[in-house]
Amino acid sequence: MRVLIVEPNREPKVAEIENTLEAKQSIVGGFIEMACPPSHSDDAVIICNEEGKFNGSVPNRPVFLENGSPYDIIFSTFFICRAPFDSDDFEGLTDEQIDRYSKFYA
């Protein structure tokens, strides 16, 4: 599955990962949770560490409302993938999504 990994203070990077719970937990450094989508215009979602705000992790990136106002901060490393409404699992990003979110989180 092709995802975009976003580490604190680093440029986002594209990676191919296995679509397993273990692979996802390895990237975020703990239990995963699906956070708000980086955009409400597609099916991309942020997968982050469920305990990132409480376990001493460093702040990573803000999350914005559709009007551009920041409303939260994601702590620690996270990744972006797709969660289509008609699927029971996460899926890889499209080329367009990779391009959009690479620029957005650069």
Q: Which residues have a Cβ under 8 Å from the Cβ of 68 and sit 6 or more positions away? A: none
pLDDT of residue 6: 98
Give pTM, 2 decimals.
0.91
Instruction: Provide the residue range defining the domain that includes 67.
Output: 2-104
- pLDDT, tens digit, 9 for 90 and up, residues 29-84: 999 999 876 666 788 999 999 999 999 899 999 988 778 888 889 999 999 999 98
* Structural domain total, the chain: 1
pLDDT of residue 37: 66
pLDDT of residue 38: 61
